[in-house]
Amino acid sequence: MALIVQKYGGTSVGSVERIKNVARRAIKWADAGNQVVVVVSAMSGETNRLIALAREIQPEPDPRELDVVASTGEQVTIGLLAMALKSLGRDARSYTGGQVGVHTDSAFTKARIESIDQQRIRADLEAGRIVVVAGFQGVDAQGNITTLGRGGSDTSGVALAAALGADECQIYTDVDGVYTTDPRVVPEASKLPSITFEEMLEMASLGSKVLQIRSVEFAGKYRVRLRVLSSLTPWDIPLEHEMHSGTLITFEEDQKNMERAVVSGIAFARDEAKITVVGVPDRPGIAYQILSAVGQANIEVDMIVQNQSVDGFTDFSFTVGRNDYARTLSILKSEVQGHIGAKDVIGDPKACKISIVGVGMRSHAGVASTMFRTLSEEGINIQMISTSEIKVSVLIDEKYLELAVRALHRAFDLDAPATPA
């Protein structure tokens, strides 16, 4: 008998009819002799609605209270799904994160899971019940409700699978797997039958929101077998077909002999902003002074570029999320510019980051130059570059995002073969 954790996202539970389908699908898996734990998100749009309500009261909501509000969407879906299961004749129980013992730290709105109690879930599974758990939420040591950051139900699902030693964690969503890039932006994107854990980690951290990055980290750390698949197929497709569908996240050593593309996927992040401190005296401690002022304001910095100076002065550029753009500029202008004697602080809030990802890059030269040539042929200026062993990222003007992603998708032979008419 296998133990399966299934996670269903917002669209997958977006209506009463879809919730009933989730119930039918979970029962299909249970009827085949599996123990089934289902983790659900709030109905699509619900978490946004709750956060907007909170902002009407407090434009910068109190984080503890925001979590009290934002976590309620999931409580609705667990109750509805448990009812749907029971009305189909299957015993089930719903639990909030707190009830089932999802313990987190106290970082409201972005809490990390520290441990999960197994007792209650195991007892229910032994009694033949389907267990339904609210994603996205937990409790801290003081019993305060916490949430795990947007998209956090993925992490709830994988963490539960890790805690229970599940045979597989299935992430059911509104696409039928992980694609070479977001299929909503590039219709020619093709579905990957598998992707390595390392590539998935890069894709998620570079902007592909199909999986929350922490869920991938968990899967890697605890070696959870993770599959992304569609909840929008008819619920009664044969199990033998469904169990091999979607995209499996694999570990590189499992697929040593596989022929792989050099670039496996393209990720992008909208809503980036670039800041440049102009004419900085080139002496020790400058990068620290600039970035510590930003860090103290809890602003996350991503790409960083500093040039060698020829005349004792240099320009220092970095990126932040667009939401933090105005705050970063004002901190640098008021606190830093005078102290360090920089000539100016300028910025551009309309940037985006595009990244090519692939473990095949380790053994192939010239990947970055193909990327740069492709962008130059489209007349797209590269503002910043950063690389790692398996990715190259560039910062460009956001108005070229779609054009750049499509051109790169073609250049690296990722377009799905045209289907014959």
Interface residues toward ligand ADP, by CB under 6 A: 9-12, 41, 151, 173-175, 178-179, 181-184, 208-210, 265
What minimum distance in Å lies between the beta carbon of 254 and ligand ADP? 21
| 73 lies in the site for Mg ion, by CB under 5 A | no
Residue partners of 296: CB distance under 8 A and separation at least 6: none
Residue 185 contacts residue 210 (beta carbons within 8 Å):
no
Q: In what order do the strands lie in the sheet with 265-281?
A: 301-306, 313-321, 265-281, 344-357, 391-397, 384-388
What minimum distance in Å lies between the beta carbon of 173 and ligand ADP? 3
What minimum distance in Å lies between the beta carbon of 9 and ligand ASP? 6
Q: Which is nearer to ligand ASP, 41 or 328 (CB)?
A: 41
What minimum distance in Å lies between the beta carbon of 28 and ligand ADP? 19
Please, what is the Cα angle at 167 between 235 and 12, to 5 degrees?
30
What minimum distance in Å lies between the beta carbon of 67 and ligand ASP? 11
Q: Which is nearer to ligand ASP, 209 or 260 (CB)?
A: 209
What is the rounded distance in angstroms from the CA atom of residue 53 to the CA atom of residue 58? Answer: 9
Binding site for ligand ASP (CB under 6 A): 9-10, 41-42, 47, 73, 135-136, 150-154
Q: Which two tokens stand for residue 218?
A: 């968990």
What is the rounded distance in angstroms from the CA atom of residue 136 to the CA atom of residue 165? Answer: 20
279 forms bridges with which residues in the sheet?
none
Q: Which does 29 bind (CB under 5 to 8 A by kind): ligand ADP, Mg ion, ligand ASP, none?
A: none
Which of 122, 169, 185, 195 shows the shortest CA–CA distance to 352? 185
Give SS3 for 7: strand
Which of 371, 365, 359 shows the shortest CA–CA distance to 396? 371
Q: Which does 47 bind (CB under 5 to 8 A by kind): ligand ADP, ligand ASP, Mg ion, none?
A: ligand ASP
Residue 315 contacts residue 347 (beta carbons within 8 Å):
no
Q: Which does 98 bind (CB under 5 to 8 A by kind): ligand ADP, ligand ASP, Mg ion, none?
A: none
What minimum distance in Å lies between the beta carbon of 216 and ligand ASP? 14
Q: Which is nearer to ligand ASP, 135 or 138 (CB)?
A: 135
Q: Which is nearer to ligand ADP, 103 or 209 (CB)?
A: 209
Residue 133 contacts residue 100 (beta carbons within 8 Å):
yes
Q: Which is nearer to Mg ion, 95 or 172 (CB)?
A: 172
| 177 lies in the site for Mg ion, by CB under 5 A | no
| 151 lies in the site for Mg ion, by CB under 5 A | yes
Residues near Mg ion (CB under 5 A) are: 9, 151
